[in-house]
């Protein structure tokens, strides 16, 4: 496990302009390499822009798309010239479902793909209307020497995601986002409610999973919404190693010592002490209760199986 | 922006206006977001310039300052569009904004256009609307004035080569205190999610002249008219009520428990519901397989949409 230089590509993708965004990615991978980075991370839908609506089908790529393979090819290199890149795009499956996907590219190929699991469809979000949700959550080994756990924006608003990735072997949790900024109330810690919430989550997850958390959020404007950037790297003790400015586009370099994970996990063996079988057992019970296949311990007496209020 | 003299910072509007605590925003973040928004919208539409109609009031003054901050005053055209009964002080305040910003400015009096329609009551000379037009209500006359200003703004946006930037704030939009296709018409609106109290807060932060921030908001349809006497509310009071109702999703019962008077709550609920149509695009009867706004959904600024 080596010291690692991470490049955070806090960019403003152009909406629906795949070729232009691909060119930008190629250029930034080059800059990251020149800057000595071993890993460069791009934001959610960095290759397409976020608010696509019906454009989603027009910018979708299959995993065998030559443009994606060419981008993966840009990660190949001898010795220090090799690097890993995490990129995000609209993925079309063979059966023509569209996913928001994030991929780890390294050694010139697509090493791992994670489809977005949680598609927010409430408030200002309408993702489920246009996209299918992924069904798999897997950590992946990497040339970086540690397991990597990929996730996309809203996935990190579900507690189980960072926990499962860490338990599956990830020591580096990466969340790529297109988070729309909102709530400018003056009482917010950093002047933006969204940023305050995210900063709390990232520190908490890093601490509870004793892992590095890398968060890359885009900047720029799609229609009414502005994306706030504020990309961060949080160490396994919950302290921020780096916080990018809000709203400023840039390629930010951060040096981390991946050996911090070992030190933290020895000192604070939270993952060692996790009770997976307990979680599986209780979750299994809750699933059965919801399906009406077992008595619901918290339902009103006399309620129908699967319902929690007794009809009168 | 060096031409603008910044007043001393007044984060709480101290001395200038009343700012309810829950409405106070981080004006640095607001200015940053708005500047990016204005630049992004113009770029995606293929424009570099903007047009703002200046009334002499705080909303349009603030928009002019924000546009100048985002793209530079040299790319901004401010148009003053008074009717002959418009307050002379409004004109003076609008001129002060243009002077402070150092942007292009022009004055087009709309009296002849309005009178050509409604006629001249003093002489009895009939306009295009016929004899009936001579006795048109202040509301009708105000609406026509707002739409004529819109017509001029959009016409001049062609010769200036810029987009029309809207100046409606969140308070007036929510209660429907706007003219459909008049003052509410624009290509983009940077302040439409700011309550009037927040408009004042941001205006103080960007250096809008104090006289403009201090004066009573008015549609200036007749001498001495003010928004607050018409609505029977002060803006800070109305803003708070709307904030808790809309942004914080409080029920009428919960609003009453927070100390708002029942008749004020009832008035606001009615005003908000009754103006829903003004905030939405007109519905299209769904007939074909794919209908704009229903199941043909594209971003306004999609690839190929920019003027080239």
Write out the DSSP string of B175-230.
HT-S-TTTTT--SB-SSTTS-HHHHHHHHHHHT--HHHHHSPP---SSTT--HHHH
Residue A221 has its nearest CB partner, among B28, B40, B297, at B40
How close B295 gets to chain A, by Cα (Å)?
9
Q: Is A215 helix (H, G, I), strand (E, B) or coil?
A: strand
A181: closest chain B residue by CA: B33
Question: Parallel, antiparallel, or unpaired for β A250-257 and A3-10?
Answer: antiparallel
Question: Chain centroid to CA B53: how far?
Answer: 9
Q: What is the pLDDT of residues A245-299, one digit of tens each?
A: 999 999 999 999 999 999 999 999 999 999 999 999 999 999 999 999 999 989 9
Q: Is B112 helix (H, G, I), strand (E, B) or coil?
A: helix
- Using 50, 70 and 90 to split pLDDT, how confident is the model at A1? low
Stretch B10-14: mean pLDDT = 51
Q: Is A229 helix (H, G, I), strand (E, B) or coil?
A: strand
Residues of A in contact with B296 (CB under 8 A): 54
At residue B14, the pLDDT reads 57
- pLDDT surpasses 60 at B214: yes
Question: Is B296 near chain A, with CB under 8 Å?
Answer: yes
| CA–CA gap between residue B283 and residue B54 (Å, rounded) | 31
Stretch B160-175: mean pLDDT = 97
Helices (H), chain B: 27-45, 58-71, 88-101, 111-118, 138-160, 170-175, 196-206, 210-214, 227-231, 235-242, 252-257, 262-274
Distances (CA, A) of B249 to B196, B242, B275: 19, 10, 18
| CA–CA gap between residue A239 and residue A244 (Å, rounded) | 14
Q: Residue A125 corresponds to which tokens in the numbers above?
A: 């979000």
Q: What is the pLDDT of residues B128-158, one digit of tens each?
A: 999 999 999 999 999 999 999 999 999 999 9
Which of A159-173, A183-197, B10-24 is the least confident region? B10-24
Residue A44's nearest CA partner among A217, A190, A187 is: A217
Q: What is the pLDDT of residues B36-81, one digit of tens each?
A: 999 999 998 999 999 999 999 999 999 999 999 999 999 999 999 9
Write the DSSP symbol of residue B86.
S
Residue A239's nearest CA partner among A206, A264, A190 is: A206
How close A222 gets to chain B, by Cα (Å)?
8
How close A16 gets to chain B, by Cα (Å)?
6
Residues of B in contact with A15 (CB under 8 A): 44, 299, 301-303
Question: Is B289 near chain A, with CB under 8 Å?
Answer: no
Stretch A121-147: mean pLDDT = 97
Q: Residue A190 corresponds to which tokens in the numbers above?
A: 């950093």
| CA–CA gap between residue A223 and residue B188 (Å, rounded) | 10
| CA–CA gap between residue B171 and residue B195 (Å, rounded) | 5
Helices (H), chain A: 18-34, 66-73, 127-130, 160-167, 193-209, 259-267, 276-290
At residue B2, the pLDDT reads 35
Angle at A54 (CA atoms; ends A49, A58), nearest 5 degrees? 70
Instruction: Please indicate whether, in this complex, the C-beta atoms of A184 and B40 are within 8 angstroms of each other.
Output: no
Residue A184 has its nearest CB partner, among B29, B44, B303, at B29
Q: What is the pLDDT of residues A77-92, one digit of tens each?
A: 998 899 999 999 999 9
How close A65 gets to chain B, by Cα (Å)?
21
Q: At what angle do helices B262-274 and B235-242 cross, to 10 degrees?
A: 70
Place of tokens 């900024």: A181
- pLDDT surpasses 80 at B222: no
Instruction: Please indicate whether, in this complex, the C-beta atoms of A192 and B301 are within 8 angstroms of each other.
Output: no
- pLDDT surpasses 60 at B269: yes
| CA–CA gap between residue A284 and residue A173 (Å, rounded) | 26
- pLDDT surpasses 70 at B193: yes
Residue to test with chain B: of A179, A226, A228, A248, most B Cβ within 10 A? A226
Q: How many CA atoms lie within 13 A of B229 on its CB side?
A: 8
At residue B65, the pLDDT reads 98
Residue to test with chain A: of B19, B36, B173, most A Cβ within 10 A? B36
- pLDDT surpasses 80 at A29: yes
B11: closest chain A residue by CA: A186
| CA–CA gap between residue A184 and residue A29 (Å, rounded) | 34
Q: What is the pLDDT of residues B84-106, one digit of tens each?
A: 999 888 999 999 999 999 999 99
Phi and psi at residue B306, to the nearest 5° = -75, 140
Residues of B in contact with A181 (CB under 8 A): 29, 33
Question: Parallel, antiparallel, or unpaired for β A84-92 and A98-106?
Answer: antiparallel
Residue A181 has its nearest CB partner, among B28, B33, B297, at B33
- Using 50, 70 and 90 to split pLDDT, how confident is the model at B224? confident
Residue B303 has its nearest CB partner, among A16, A188, A221, at A16
- pLDDT surpasses 70 at A240: yes
Burial class (CB in 10 A: 0-12, 13-18, 19+), A45: buried
- The predicted model scores a pTM of 0.92
Instruction: Please indicate whether, in this complex, the C-beta atoms of A55 and B302 are within 8 angstroms of each other.
Output: yes
| CA–CA gap between residue A209 and residue A198 (Å, rounded) | 16
Q: What is the pLDDT of residues B243-263, one digit of tens each?
A: 999 999 999 999 999 999 999
Residues of B in contact with A247 (CB under 8 A): 32-33, 36
At residue A54, the pLDDT reads 96
């Amino acid at each position: 496990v080596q010291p690692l230089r991470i490049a955070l590509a806090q960019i403003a993708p152009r909406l629906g302009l795949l070729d232009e965004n691909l060119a930008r990615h190629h250029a930034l991978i080059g800059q990251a390499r020149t800057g000595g980075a071993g890993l460069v991370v791009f934001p959610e839908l960095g290759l397409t822009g976020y608010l696509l609506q019906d454009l989603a089908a027009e910018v979708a790529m299959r995993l065998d798309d030559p443009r994606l393979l060419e981008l993966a090819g840009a990660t190949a290199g001898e010795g220090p010239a090799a690097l890993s890149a995490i990129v995000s795009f609209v993925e079309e499956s063979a059966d023509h479902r569209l996913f928001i996907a994030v991929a780890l590219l390294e050694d010139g190929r697509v090493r791992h793909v994670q489809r977005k699991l949680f598609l927010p469809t409430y408030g200002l979000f309408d993702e489920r209307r246009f996209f299918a949700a992924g069904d798999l959550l897997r950590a992946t080994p990497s040339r970086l020497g540690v397991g990597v756990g990929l996730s996309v924006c809203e996935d990190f608003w579900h507690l189980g995601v960072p926990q499962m990735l860490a338990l599956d072997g990830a020591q580096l949790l990466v969340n790529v986002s297109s988070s729309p900024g909102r709530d400018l109330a003056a009482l917010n810690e950093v002047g933006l409610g969204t940023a305050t919430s995210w900063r709390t989550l990232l520190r908490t997850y890093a601490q509870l999973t004793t892992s590095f958390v890398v968060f890359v959020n885009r900047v720029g404007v799609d229609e009414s919404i502005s994306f706030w950037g504020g990309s961060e790297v949080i160490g396994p003790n919950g302290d921020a190693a780096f916080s990018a400015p809000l709203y400023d586009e840039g390629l930010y370099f951060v040096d981390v010592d991946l050996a911090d994970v070992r030190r933290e996990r020895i000192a604070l063996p939270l993952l060692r002490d996790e009770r997976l079988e307990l979680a599986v057992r209780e979750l299994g019970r809750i699933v059965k209760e919801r399906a009406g296949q077992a008595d619901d311990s918290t339902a009103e007496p006399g309620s129908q199986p699967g319902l929690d209020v007794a009809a009168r | 922006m060096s031409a603008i003299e910044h007043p001393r910072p007044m984060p709480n509007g101290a001395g200038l206006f009343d700012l309810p605590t829950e409405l106070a925003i981080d004006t640095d973040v607001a200015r940053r977001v708005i500047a990016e928004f204005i630049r992004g919208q113009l770029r995606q539409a293929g424009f570099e310039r903007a047009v703002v109609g200046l009334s002499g009031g705080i909303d349009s003054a603030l928009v002019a300052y924000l546009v100048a901050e985002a793209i530079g005053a040299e790319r901004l055209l401010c148009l003053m569009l008074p009717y002959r009964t418009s307050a002379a002080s409004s004109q003076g305040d609008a001129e002060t904004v243009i002077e402070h910003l150092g942007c292009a400015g022009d004055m087009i009096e709309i009296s002849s256009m309005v009178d050509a329609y409604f006629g001249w009551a003093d002489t009895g000379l009939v306009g295009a609307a016929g004899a009936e037009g001579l006795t048109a209500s202040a509301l009708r006359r105000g609406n026509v004035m707002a739409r004529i200003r819109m017509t001029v703004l959009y016409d001049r946006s062609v010769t200036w080569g810029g987009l029309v930037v809207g100046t409606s704030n969140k308070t007036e939009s929510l209660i429907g205190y706007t003219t459909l296709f008049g003052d509410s018409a624009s290509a983009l609106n940077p302040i439409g999610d700011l309550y009037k109290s927040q408009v004042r807060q941001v205006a103080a932060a960007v250096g809008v002249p104090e006289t403009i921030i201090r004066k009573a908001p008015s549609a200036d349809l007749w001498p001495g008219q003010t928004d607050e006497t018409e609505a029977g509310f002060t803006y800070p009071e109305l803003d708070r009520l709307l904030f808790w109702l809309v942004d914080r999703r409080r029920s009428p019962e919960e609003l009453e428990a927070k100390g708002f008077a029942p008749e004020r709550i009832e008035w606001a609920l009615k005003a908000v519901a009754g103006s829903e149509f003004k905030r939405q695009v007109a519905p299209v009867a769904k007939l074909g397989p794919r209908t704009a706004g229903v199941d043909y959904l594209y971003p306004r600024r999609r690839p190929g949409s920019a003027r080239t």
